[in-house]
Structure 1
């Protein structure tokens, strides 16, 4: 497999896994009324970085930025592609030919560190949502979402073999 084919497959897996995660989140919202992250807030966070503001007391009360929803969703899918690339970098290119569930779920599990240690503190929620009204629930939702992403890596990997 050429480098271009490998990159194309990793991009496809990352996009597919993120789409899978989003479809599960949509189903959880429709069936169980479980709210997921509003990716416009991610775009707002990124938009404020341009002016040097990297954290907020509350991202919800921060001034909205131009095109924050589009930027947030784009970054969300870009992040999925990056995590797919990190998975392949960690376990080797053979994973692209024969995806394994354990490696994919572990990648999803490890990816939850990003919201817990970077995004939630920057959004004013504290490390691992410690400053939210129900930190345990917020952590469970993040963990389930990222494990769903891991499952999506596996599913997308097999669909693209």
Structure 2
């Protein structure tokens, strides 16, 4: 039972993260949105074990040689964690006939981790409040996490 939750959650988390990354590529190429830079996220994760969660600006924190790689690994690890959480909370039988609503709820709820942990941790404020256009960032976050949820749902359909 535990193994099934882990492998199904891992597949859904990877599927959701891949969908989110494809969405980021589309936004970058078609709409000229900046491409994701996972370096600052890697730097943030690097500083967590040192007890530093919130930074005034992650750019001024001590750099880490492999921060881009750590950022990518962290991005996928968090996606997998969210997929496993989804696999843990779905009702029995859900994998036989997945529906979109539960992945979408998880996707929207997980925006909170970005808004209230990662973004202030990077120094861009609660829910991107210190960015030039917080509303735009928040909307893009909600859309990206909906795309993530869609990827988890599609992955669940594939493995049912």
TM, length-normalised to structure 1 = 0.91
Q: CA deviation at 1:93?
A: 4.3
Gaps spanning 5+ residues in structure 1: where? none
Q: How does 1:79-90 map to 2 (within 5 A)?
A: 79-90=78-89
Give me the whole-angstrom Cα distance separating, in 2, the residues matched to 1:36 and 1:112.
19
C-alpha deviations, 1:106-129, integer Å up to 9, x for none?
111111001001011111111101
Contact 1:47 1:66 in 2 (8 A): no
Deviations 1:8-38 (A, max 9, x none): 1221111111111111111111111112541
Q: Structure 1 residues 28-37 or 101-110, which shifts more?
A: 28-37
Q: Which residue in 2 is equivalent to 1:117? A: 116
- Number of residue pairs the alignment of both structures matches: 160
Displacement of 1:6 in angstroms is: 3.4
Q: What's the CA shift string for 1:41-89, capped at 9, x where partnerless?
A: 1110011223332221111333321211111111111111111111122
Q: How does 1:11-160 map to 2 (within 5 A)?
A: 11-160=10-159
Q: Deviations 1:114-149 (Å, cap 9, x if unpaired)? A: 100101111111110111111111111111111110
Partners of 2:8 and 2:84 within 8 A in 1? no
Root-mean-square deviation (Å): 1.5
The structure with higher relative contact order (CA 8 Å, sep 6+) is 2
Residue pair 2:119, 2:127 contacting (<8 A) in 1 also = yes
Normalised to the residue count of structure 2, the TM-score between the two structures is 0.92
* SS at structure 2 position matched to 1:100: coil
Identify the residue that residue 5 of structure 1 maps to in structure 2.
Answer: 4
